[in-house]
């Protein structure tokens, strides 16, 4: 199982993505609901263009952080707005999303978690099965 890697730019910020996701204090830049929505749109569009699994869902799992609910909804809306199917797993360990993404040959998987970081933080960790080309060259969907 591989994670998506790349550096994305949103709202004029420099480095947004690290190795496989974005983290920060929930509901502040860069981890606002709007950015989570746009990240999900971009990731979904990239997956639809670069994979032949258009009929496969994208799974979303999260940890128990309070901010996980609004981020889960923003991410799900971004995925659905691009025409892909979303499956919500609810609260699950991070490895469960990676496992389900691989075993069910999903289009992708997203974990909403900040791992060991402080509780006010959160993040979006992106998985594909198998790994697509680097997303760093993808363009953000325009706001409509």
Alpha carbon distance 45, 48 (integer Å): 5
Helix (H) or strand (E) holding 60: strand 58-62
Helix (H) or strand (E) holding 91: strand 86-91
Alpha carbon distance 44, 65 (integer Å): 24
Q: With bands split at pLDDT 50, 70 and 90, how would you rate the model's confidence at 56?
A: very high
Alpha carbon distance 41, 34 (integer Å): 11
The reported pTM is 0.78
* Residue predicted with more confidence, 136 or 7: 136
State the pLDDT at residue 116.
83
Q: With bands split at pLDDT 50, 70 and 90, how would you rate the model's confidence at 127?
A: confident
> Is residue 142 flagged as an active site residue?
no
Cα angle value 5/62/111 (rounded, 5°)? 10
Given 115, 131, 138, 143, the catalytic residue: 115
Question: Can you read off the two tokens belonging to residue 65?
Answer: 């952080």
């Amino acid at each position: 199982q591989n994670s998506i890697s790349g550096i994305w730019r949103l709202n004029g910020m420099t480095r947004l993505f690290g190795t496989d996701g974005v983290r920060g204090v929930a509901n502040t830049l860069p981890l606002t609901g709007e950015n989570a929505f746009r990240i999900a749109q971009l990731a979904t569009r990239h997956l639809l263009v670069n994979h032949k699994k258009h009929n496969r869902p994208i799974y979303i799992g999260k940890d128990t952080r309070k901010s996980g609910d609004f981020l889960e909804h923003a991410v799900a809306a971004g995925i659905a707005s691009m025409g892909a199917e979303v499956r919500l797993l609810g609260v699950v360990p991070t490895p469960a999303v990676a496992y389900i993404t691989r075993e069910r040959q999903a289009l992708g998987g997203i974990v909403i978690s900040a791992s060991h970081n402080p509780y006010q933080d959160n993040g979006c960790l992106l998985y594909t099965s198998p790994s697509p080309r680097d997303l760093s060259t993808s363009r953000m969907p325009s706001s409509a």
